[in-house]
Structures are given as C-alpha cells and as structure tokens.
Amino acid sequence: MAKFAKPAKQALSAIRQVQRSGNLKSVGTGRNYHQALTRAAEYASSERVPGGLHGLSREGAIRFLETRGQVVGQKTLDLDRQAVQAFLRSIGKLQPSERLPVIKSEQTQALQSRAYTREQVRRIASHQREANALATEIAYAAGLRAHELLTLQPAKELRADRRPARDEKFLGRSGHRYVVIGKGGLAREVLVQADLAERLEALRMDLPVVVADRGIYYKQHYKLPGGHTWSQSVTAASQRALGWSTGAHGLRHTYAQQRMVELQSKGLLRSEALETVSQELGHFRPEITEIYLR
C-alpha cells in the first residue's frame, strides 16, 4: 500500500502550489488555508484516496465539504471550500473560473430552524401542489434532507453503506425500506410508510435521469421534487399556511423530536434513543442530533 506524507505536510505542499499559482493573497489567508487543507488531507487519508490530498477530485472535494458541514458552521465551511477550490485550481482539476458549489452547513441550518407540529406539516402540504406535497410528507415521515428526496431508491436495488446500526432503528414504525445518498456520499436506509411508498412508486420513471441541485449532480429514479426547488416550495407554503416558516430543514427537527419521544416510550434510555435517531437521520455524530432537540 502506498504511503503518503502526514496531512499537515501534504497541506504545506498544497499551499506552496497555491502560492505558485498566484491565488494566495496574504499570510493570514495562507495560515487559514493550511488548516483547511490539513482537514482535507485527513479526509483523503481516511477515505484512502489514491494520491492523498493531491488525488482529491471535484466530487471528492464536495463529499469532504458535505462531511465537514455536519460538524462546523457556515463560516468555517466556506473557508474550507475556498481553500480546496484554490488548490484544485492550482493543480488544474478546476478551471480558473470554475467554482465548487456552496455547501450548506447542517449545523448552521439546524441552529436556525425549529420543529413544526404534525398539524402544521399537514397544513403546509395542503398549500402545495400534489407532487411537492408528497415530497413534504415523505421528508417529514422519513427525516430526509432536501437533496435526499432526489436520490430515493428501493433498498432491494441499492445497498446501504455498512455502518454501525442499533437494532432499535425504525422501532415502532412500519413501511418500506428505501436508500438515500446523504452527506458525504453516505448511502443509508430510510423507512417510508406504506401509503406514501405506494404514491411514490406511481412516480417511478422508466429510466433514471441525472439532475443538478446547487451544482451537485444526482441520479433520480422518481419524478418527485427535491433539493432547492422543493425547499423553496416548503418555505412559501409555510408562509401561506402559518404566516411564518422555519424552512424545509424544520421537518427534520420534527422527525428527530417525535422519534425521541417514540423510542423513549418504548423503554430506551435517552442516550440510546439519541444514537438511534442519529443513525436514522444520517448524522455522523449523535451530538449533531442534539441540536435538533432544542
């Protein structure tokens, strides 16, 4: 197996490359970029990317940023994006004018959003067109992110990544298992209740299509809204129905809070319920789920 320099040394080499390309404006920026590229090199090492940091592709960089977005705020995430973008430009993996898509920090989104009640979700869906309303109901019932609606596939057709999972996952709920592609490219199982799954299957396309959302490409198998367009629909419908909105991300808050109540009523300790809900939501750490419970 090939061995690469330690992440900090890889980052230092990358900074020199950026300096030679003329894309480093100050000592302070260089210091910040070095920290950001060290994190990227650590990610490349953990994912066994051939070539380490220098082997990171545009797609790999996006997965890194999505992973980082679960543990850092938007300001730090934007700095990471600028550093990786400058490096990829310096080695010719991005054109001089090409940009990496802006990834939303889930930590920041979670801090800015709040849960809806079941009745409020119903009222929001009633103010949407049929397809958007179905997407809202599925996102609420399965705890999905906006872009994950675009990636739904039956579990029998797409295998979830092998990650630790508690036996209590989906305890107390029934339905059909699907797989979605979450942050960092993680494929995880989600549960869609039977009546919603039946309506979803009616939207199955003969052949999948590639769709773009915020500069990232997904393979879509159902004619179901998702991503930024659906998220905007939720916000507008919530304003019409309730006079206010906490955004589409508020649906994940609702899912997290309801599942905590359900699982604890089944006898799970709070820590056990928190770990289970974290796995259902596709978080890398239970601490992220804690934000959803505020």
Question: Residue 86 falls within a domain, yes or no?
Answer: yes
Q: Are residues 148 and 170 in the same domain?
A: yes
Classify residue 1: in a domain, yes or no: no
Q: What is the pLDDT of residue 110?
A: 84
Give the domain range for residue 243: 112-291
Residue 23 has pLDDT above 80, yes or no: no
Q: Both 99 and 116 in a single domain?
A: no
- Give the largest Cα separation in the chain, rounded: 60
DSSP SS3 for 224: coil
3-state class of 291 per DSSP? helix
Same domain, 134 and 275: yes
pLDDT(173) > 90: yes
Residue 1, pLDDT above cutoff 60: no
Has residue 52 got a pLDDT over 50? yes
**Looking at 103, 125, 154, which one is the last position of a domain?**
103
For residue 241, pLDDT beyond 50: yes
Report yes or no on 65 lying in a domain: yes
How many domains does the chain divide into? 2
Q: pLDDT per residue over 55-96, tens digit each?
A: 999 999 999 999 999 889 999 999 999 999 999 999 999 999
Residues 30 and 97 in one domain: yes
For residues 42 and 118, state if they share a domain. Answer: no
User: Given pLDDT bands bounded at 50, 70 and 90, which one contains residue 28?
Assistant: confident
pLDDT of residue 111: 84
In a shared domain, residues 255 and 201: yes
Could you tell me which of 98, 92, 140 has the C-alpha nearest to residue 81? 98
pLDDT of residue 253: 94
CA distance 35 to 75: 14
The verdict on residue 73 lying in a domain is yes
Average pLDDT, the chain: 94
pLDDT one-digit tens code per residue, 189-235? 999 999 999 999 999 999 999 999 999 999 999 999 999 999 999 99
Distant-in-sequence, close-in-space partners of 263: CB < 8 Å, separation ≥ 6: 168, 171, 172, 272, 273, 276, 277
Q: Is residue 187 part of a domain?
A: yes
pTM attached to this predicted model = 0.90
What CATH code is carried by the domain that includes residue 144?
1.10.443.10
The pLDDT assigned to 49 comes to: 93
Residues 131 and 41 reside in one and the same domain? no
Whether residue 4 is predicted with pLDDT greater than 70 in this model: the reply is no
Residue at 135 is within a domain:
yes
> What is the rounded distance in angstroms from the CA atom of residue 126 to the CA atom of residue 237?
8
> Are 130 and 84 contained in the same domain?
no
| Residues 117 and 248 placed together within one structural domain of the fold | yes
Whether 70 and 116 map to the same domain: the answer is no
248 occurs within a structural domain: yes
The confidence score (pLDDT) of residue 3 equals 55
Judge if 226 and 166 occupy the same domain: yes
Cα 72 from Cα 144, distance rounded (Å): 20
Share of the chain above pLDDT 70, in %: 99
Distances (CA, A) of 65 to 5, 9, 36, 94: 22, 20, 10, 16
Mean pLDDT of 13-28: 82
Query: Any idea what the CATH number is for the domain that residue 45 is in?
Result: 1.10.150
Specify if 245 maps to a domain.
Answer: yes
Looking at 38, 68, 103, the residue that finishes a domain is 103
* 95-143 confidence digits (pLDDT tens): 999 999 999 999 888 888 889 999 999 999 999 999 999 999 999 999 9
Final residue of a structural domain among 103, 132, 149 = 103
Residues 145 and 12 both lie in one domain: no
